[in-house]
Amino acid sequence: MLTHAQVWSAIDRLAARAGLSASGLARRAGLDPTTFNKSKRVTAAGRARWPSTESISKALAATGTGIETFVGLIQGDKAGAPTRSVPLLGFAEAGAGGYFDDGGFPAGTGWDEIAFPAVDDTHAYALEVSGQSMEPAYRDGDVILVSPAAPIRRGDRVVVKTRDGEVMAKELKRSTAKVIELKSLNAQHPDRTLATEDVLWVARILWASQ
């Protein structure tokens, strides 16, 4: 017997396989971004709400996934790699206070979660990209996996948060005691040079959906 929880879990796994959040999967499928959100899975009266076959079909087409694979996801995809849930936040929310400690580690409440395969870093978290400012490296709805504890070298892609609350994804060009030089991932946006004292934290991007 097919259960409500199995179908929604399969959609979450489908999104994770594509490196997307539930809302990112919906956007890529041409649906309302809230179509697969957890708030849509239960009615105001507390009844289970099922996803439509049309929305599932569009999600499968958008990710190039066959129905047989989706059935495997419903059954738990036992043959697949093990996954671990990591905290998930949107870039816009990441600029607000309360989500990170002073070292850039996830803290506070309000985080969603997303499953990633073989994530060994217990401090890792995910950020969902919004807008076109990071194209072509990262598209709207893509998810990047970030490690605040990973060592950072020149040429690494990083997420930087300033003391003014600005959050950006760039490539590290150079870091000295006084300044941090960052290369933009989008040629239409300028490179940045920030005073070290104006940077709250820098964290390395370990993985990104493509």
96-137 pLDDT, tens digit per residue, is 878 888 888 888 777 888 776 556 678 889 898 888 888 888
Whether residue 30 is predicted with pLDDT greater than 70 in this model: the reply is: yes
CATH tag for 83-208 (out of 2.10.109.10, 3.40.50.800, 2.70.98.20, 3.40.50.2300): 2.10.109.10
User: β-pairing, 179-183 with 112-117?
Assistant: unpaired
Provide DSSP, 119-170.
---TT-EEEE--SSTTTTTS-TTBEEEEESSS---TT-EEEEEETTS-EEEE
Whether residue 150 is predicted with pLDDT greater than 50 in this model: the reply is: yes
CA dihedral 57, 59, 64, 66 (to 10 degrees): -40
Are both 4-74 and 83-208 of the same fold? no
CATH tag for 4-74 (out of 1.10.260, 1.10.3470, 2.60.120, 1.10.10): 1.10.260
Q: Which two tokens stand for residue 60?
A: 């499968």
Structural domain boundaries of the chain? Answer: 4-74, 83-208
pTM, full prediction? 0.62
Position 209 scores a pLDDT of 67
CB 149 within 8 A of CB 184: no
How far apart, in whole angstroms, are the C-alpha atoms of residue 34 and residue 27?
Answer: 9
Whether residue 82 is predicted with pLDDT greater than 60 in this model: the reply is: no
How many Cα atoms are found within 13 Å in the side-chain-facing hemisphere of 44?
A: 0
